[in-house]
A = this chain, B = another copy of it.
């Protein structure tokens, strides 16, 4: 049996980064992974500019008088003349600071006096209300490294340095199919002894959410021949093949012999709960990941193992999730030699400015409602008990997307 950490680091070490890249306009690049760094060749802001609507001034002039002629008007986007000394310039947010000016007085600290302007500000300092050239980004700076996954705010930053397109990795294609005579599809009439397929639909949501493309080859007859055929087909169309179920020690499973006839397969029992068994192999050169058939185990191993492997294949540099160390609002009296990933959510105690972790009452791994109720996993380390008030690591589902 491998520990969780051993299994994860081995799996990630085996991930071969995709080589397929594409150029996309930034507005289509949300969630994509950069295949080249983004380097700025401009300064942001490109010039000293005003943070306020108000009046540009040279503060030295304020030592002599407080009421000034308005010698020019500088809207955003214009190119101002040098500030005539002894005067002020009307200026708007974002507009360039004229030469000779060294501060902006905000409108609310001025008064109109005839056709002149009186400065009523109590305190002033050089540079006030001015954003300086390059203050945000200087020419030559690596704004995002290769391997960064783009968020909405990142698209804005790339736009702000004038870049219209980025080089990103093409989304991985994850091929899957469903086997198992005991499975019905939603919409089918219930049948005694059969259960509805849940994993197929979890993957239909979870795979695109991570930015990958799901290729679902549908239902496959539960025979060795059909399973081998489907495996071959999946390995041809997908960058990765992923299935759920059929990898336990039971005799009814065709996934294992199918892979073994086409390539090689590692079967692991990982010291984690929920989660074992996990299978990892190779079908004629295409990697294979076999998740457990139990929906909670499939959900957990997808998020805790497959996610990291796939993101690494997709070229993502930072695949770790920042754990939240928070107080347990529960007791966990019985230590387990396996690491437990308990379905949990956060509860806020406003009066004490405290966020605590509470557990779903039934941690049985058959219960998919636990994953739906939960907002993340509370990690119970191996051979450990927890007493209410202890700190536990919480991995939020929202951070796994």
Contacts and interface: CB of A to CB of B under 8 A. Distances in A.
Interface of A: 26-27, 30, 42, 44-47, 49, 51, 53, 75-80, 92-96, 107, 131, 135-137, 143, 150-165, 180-188, 190, 192-206, 208-209, 216, 248-252, 293-295, 299, 322-326, 346, 348, 353-355, 362, 364, 366-369, 371-372, 375, 391, 393, 396-399, 401
6 contacts: A92-B252, A156-B198, A156-B205, A162-B184, A324-B346, A324-B355
Given A182-B77, A346-B324, A401-B398, A94 B202 contact: no
A181 B78 CA distance: 9
A275 B346 CA distance: 28
A204 B78 contact: no
A353 B195 contact: no
Contact of A198 (B143, B160, B205, B323): B160
Contact of A369 (B42, B53, B137, B205): B137
A90 to B, nearest CB: 9
B107 A249 contact: yes
A192 B251 CA distance: 73
Nearest to A49: B195
A79 B155 contact: no
Query: How many copies are assembled?
Result: 2
Given A53-B250, A364-B135, A366-B45, A94 B182 contact: yes
A38 to B, nearest CB: 11
Nearest to A222: B77
B157 A198 contact: yes
A324 B324 contact: yes
Given A322-B355, A325-B353, A348-B322, A190 B162 contact: yes
Per CB-CB distance, the 3 closest pairs between chain A and chain B, nearest first, are A152-B205, A77-B182, A164-B187
A136 to B, nearest CB: 5
Nearest to A322: B346
Nearest to A159: B201
B42 A160 contact: no
* Among A183, A188, A250, A251, residue most surrounded by chain B Cβ atoms (within 10 Å): A250
Contacts of A79: 192-193
A392 B79 CA distance: 44
* Among A79, A195, A399, residue most surrounded by chain B Cβ atoms (within 10 Å): A195
* Among A151, A192, A396, A399, residue most surrounded by chain B Cβ atoms (within 10 Å): A151
Contacts of A364: 131, 135
Contacts of A26: 186, 201, 204
Contacts of A184: 162
Contact of A47 (B49, B193, B401): B193
A121 to B, nearest CB: 17
A201 B27 contact: yes
